[in-house]
Amino acid sequence: MSTLLDIRQLSKTFHSGKGSVSALQNINLAVKEGEFITVIGPSGCGKSTLLKIVAGLDVEYDGSVKLNDRDVTGPGIEKGFIFQEPRLFPWLTVEKNIAADLSLHKPEIRKKVDELIELVRLKGFEKSYPRELSGGMAQRVAIARALLRNPKVLLLDEPFGALDAFTRAHMQEVLLDIWQQNKTTMIFVTHDIDEAVFLANRIVILKPRPGTVQKIVPVELLFPRKKSSAAFQELRFKVIGEFEKIEELELVDNGAGI
Amino acid sequence: MSASTDMTKPGGYKRTTVFLLGSILPLALLVFWQVLGGLGVISTLLFPTPVTIAKAFGKLAATGELWEHFRISVARAALGFILGGGFGLLCGILAGLFRRTERAFDPTIQMLRMVPSLAVAPLFVIWFGIGEESKVLLIAKGAFFPLYINAFLGIRNVDNKLFEVARVLGFSRLKQLIRLVIPAALPNILLGVRLSVGISWLGLVVAELMASTSGIGYLMSDARQFSKTPVVFVGIIIFAVVGKLADSLVRLMERRWLKWRDNYQG
């Protein structure tokens, strides 16, 4: 498969009145078409910043970010983005939220919206308002809204972070379903190790201050995955091991723990 | 939201019950008033009894005089509201959307807002004559500000996170305005409409008191000069009732268009 997203020597520095903070330093990552990447790291490692840069929401960076060999210069529908909160338009019903700026009167849009409602398992809630939905349902609407635009890559910024454990597990299944059916490339930021292992083809582990790639761990487990399986646990320990290395480094660097 | 189409309110009250609840106070007052007037406790010259007022109303209505004045007044208020309110909405949206416009115009508008209508009424007459123009413009001046301020506030209160969503979804500038900014600002805009409608209606009194020969305000000032107190009361009641009806109409729009809101309903 060909490379869809190519990140080279990406660095990002935040400037403020008090000085500059390096958020990301020399990030290199090539994402193949159809791949499921999870990005994991402790808070402050710049994982959200990385995602915003790929989305084109933040264009002040050094290095190069190319999607399909074209520089990312701003946001656009080829890069779907799911925020931590669903961020639905409260005045629109579920189906109108999915359509957003597109018209449901167009038969091809209508058809695709209906298909997506089926895909994210929201049949029967087409006419509901966001205030009537649970957190998990609202986030599924947000996913459908992004998918309607046929994004080349779907960027997810801790999308299930605010959900309870059961809903979260369910949403992971739904997302894998969507991924297997649509073959959409996914970049999924999380701070949950189980989630990172459960979903990914490759796990990108970031370490903080400044944000750099600690390690990229390939996950070759077959789908559907069992969180209780020995192979899963082995990978999980491997990722935890990497985090312990980060912590040890922090201790040496700062002379004190976090 | 109480926009539920069935007859029951969230609190379990029927619509008729709600209506009756609102009528208790004015009805009790009317009965009390009639009784006191009948007993001679209060002067019927200063406080004509409800029955006398109703008779005066019947007489005015029968000749068609009342309808004519009423029609003219409503036309003035409506025109003033559309002109002032519409312009206020437009300016409020522009100032809300563009910081530069706000900086350039808002200080001036705020100064004009503090000029009382009564103070400029004579000037308006000098500038625009004693015809309809001065009256409509005076009403428009009053109707401008509530819509201007609330449209501005509504736009500045739009959640920045939703703007980020609009960017990610690739909304055009126009779509951003009609699919995000306007709907998000609608609660404030409708509040502005409500206040503007009220001010337009109240502005009639000021407008029709200056050298006017028609309208409910004229009817009242004319009656006052000839000590026809019942007619003054007829005018007051018309102002109260029609004002309330106009307000209810806007609230109906609120209920219909803002049913997506999830707020405390009392």
Give the C-alpha separation, B188 to B156, whole Å: 10
pTM to 2 decimal places: 0.81
Dihedral pair phi/psi, residue A45, rounded to 5°: -90, 0
What residues in A contact B162, CB-CB < 8 Å?
A: 87, 89
Q: Thinking of the domain B46-257, which architecture would CATH place it in? A: Orthogonal Bundle (1.10)
Q: Note the pLDDT of residue A257.
A: 44
pLDDT in tens, B173-191: 999 999 999 999 999 999 9
pLDDT digit string (tens) for B148-157?
A: 999 999 999 9
User: What is the model's pLDDT at position A96?
Assistant: 93
Weakest-pLDDT range from A209-213, B53-57, B64-68, B206-210: B206-210
Contact (CB<8Å) A83/B170: no
Residues spanned by the domain of A39: 3-78+151-254
Residues A68 and A62 sit within 8 Å (Cβ to Cβ): no
- Tokens representing residue B141 in the block: 């001046």
| Chain B environment of A75 (Cβ under 8 Å) | 167-168, 170
- Percent of chain B having pLDDT more than 70? 94
Quickly tell me which residue has 């350039």 as its tokens.
B104
pLDDT for residue B58: 92
Asked whether residue A129 is domain-assigned, the answer is no
Q: How long is chain A?
A: 258
* Count of structural domains, chain A: 1
Q: Which residues of chain A have pLDDT under 70?
A: 1, 251-258
What's the rounded Cα separation, in Å, for the pair A133 and B260? 12
Specify the pLDDT at position A1.
63
CB atoms within 10 A of CB B90: 13
Within 13 Å and on the Cβ side, how many CA atoms surround A149?
27
Q: Calculate mean pLDDT across residues B54-79.
A: 92
In a domain, residue A217? The reply is yes
Q: What is the DSSP string of B50-100?
A: HHHHHHHHHHHHHHTHHHHHHHHHHHHHHHHHHHHHHHHHHHHHHHHH-HH
Neighbours of A223 (CB within 10 A): 10
Residue spans of the domains in chain B: they are 46-257
Q: Does B197 touch chain A (CB under 8 A)?
A: no
CATH number of the domain enclosing A214? 3.40.50.300
Query: What's the pLDDT at A258?
Result: 43
The pair of structure tokens assigned to A117 is 């409602």
Please tell me the distance from the alpha carbon of residue A200 to that of residue A179, in angstroms, as a whole number: 11
Q: What does the alpha-carbon distance between residue A67 and residue A2 come to, in Å, rounded to a whole number?
A: 11
pLDDT tens figures, B108-119: 999 999 998 888
Span B57-68, average pLDDT = 91
Distance CA B201, CA B210 (A): 16
Q: Which chain A residues are Cβ-neighbours of B166 within 8 angstroms?
A: 101
A92–B169 C-beta distance less than 8 A: no
Cα B255 to the center of its chain, rounded Å: 17
Asked whether A61 and A55 are in contact (CB, 8 A), the reply is: no
pLDDT of residue B122: 87
Mean per-residue pLDDT of chain B: 88
Has residue A161 been placed in a domain?
A: yes
Q: What ipTM was predicted for this assembly?
A: 0.84
Looking at residues B152-173, what average pLDDT do you find?
92
Q: Do A57 and B175 touch (CB under 8 A)?
A: no
In a domain, A106, yes or no: no
Token output for A27 = 């990030």
